[in-house]
A = this chain, B = another copy of it.
Amino acid sequence: MATIGVFDSGLGGLTVVRELRRLMPKSSIIYLGDTARVPYGTKSEATIRRYAVEDAEFLLRREVDVIVIACHTASSIASDYLKALHPETAIISVLEPSVRAAVKASNSGKIGIIGTTATIRSGKHKSEILKYGDFHVIGKPCPLFVPLVEEGLIEGQIPELIAEMYLEQLKGQIDTLVLACTHYPLLKPTIRKVMGDDVTLIDPSEEVAKVVKQKFDDGEEKGTLEVYLTDIPPGYLALIEQFLGEPPDSIVRVSVFE
């Protein structure tokens, strides 16, 4: 039975854990959320890379068999670097599975990507999609989406106006939209309303969980879920509930250097 390590800049990556638990209920999962330094998406590439290296090393010290990068910003900027640093370790980023799903879903060949400023600026989704052929890719950063979700403002006039502002330039231009940030799937009804029913929305947490399940066998008895956080912020239990949907077996505050 494989022990699955998952890291994210904060709590949003628990959506990936939720999918993994659904598909592989008998596997043990160790989750690291770098809540002391969240968010990553507004920071420089050098800093994001450094944080991702520290996060991965934390999981490796706990002898995980695979590292899943649940954070789209870290996936976009640091996954190649991490794979080069740890060639002996299976490292699965949330990026490739979501790109593959988008390519498969798109009929027109016109794909939109929304994510943090750092994710979109990296151009990594675009370059990965272009490996599959002649696609037209439009990236758009949506920096207010994460704070909206963390405020619980996921439906209604304010999120709709903000979604209109960000997505206007994508309307009618694409047939597939990748929600390339852990928080964005929670805004699905609002994004759907703005984009219309004809656009396929790709939820990367589902896609990455499928890939892990293909590569690793599930265990034989109920798997445990340990959650490590670099900070225990106020209101964290409500956010864990929102993203994970169940209480973990343990929540421990750690330094990534431990």
Contacts and interface: CB of A to CB of B under 8 A. Distances in A.
A147 interface: yes
Interface in A39-55: 42-44, 46-47
Nearest to A236: B44
Contacts of A44: 231-234
Contact of A162 (B37, B158, B165, B233): B158
Contacts of A46: 231
A151 B158 contact: no
Interface string A132-149: 000000000001100110
A118 B43 contact: no
Interface string A19-41: 00000000000000001111000
Give the interface size bracket for A toward B. Answer: 20 to 34
A42 B44 CA distance: 20
A152 to B, nearest CB: 10
Interface of A: 35-38, 42-44, 46-47, 117-118, 121, 143-144, 147-148, 150-151, 153, 157-158, 161-162, 165, 231-235
25 contacts: A35-B43, A36-B37, A36-B43, A37-B37, A42-B150, A42-B233, A42-B234, A43-B233, A44-B232, A44-B233, A44-B234, A47-B231, A47-B233, A117-B234, A117-B235, A118-B234, A121-B234, A143-B147, A143-B150, A144-B144, A144-B148, A144-B151, A147-B147, A158-B158, A158-B165
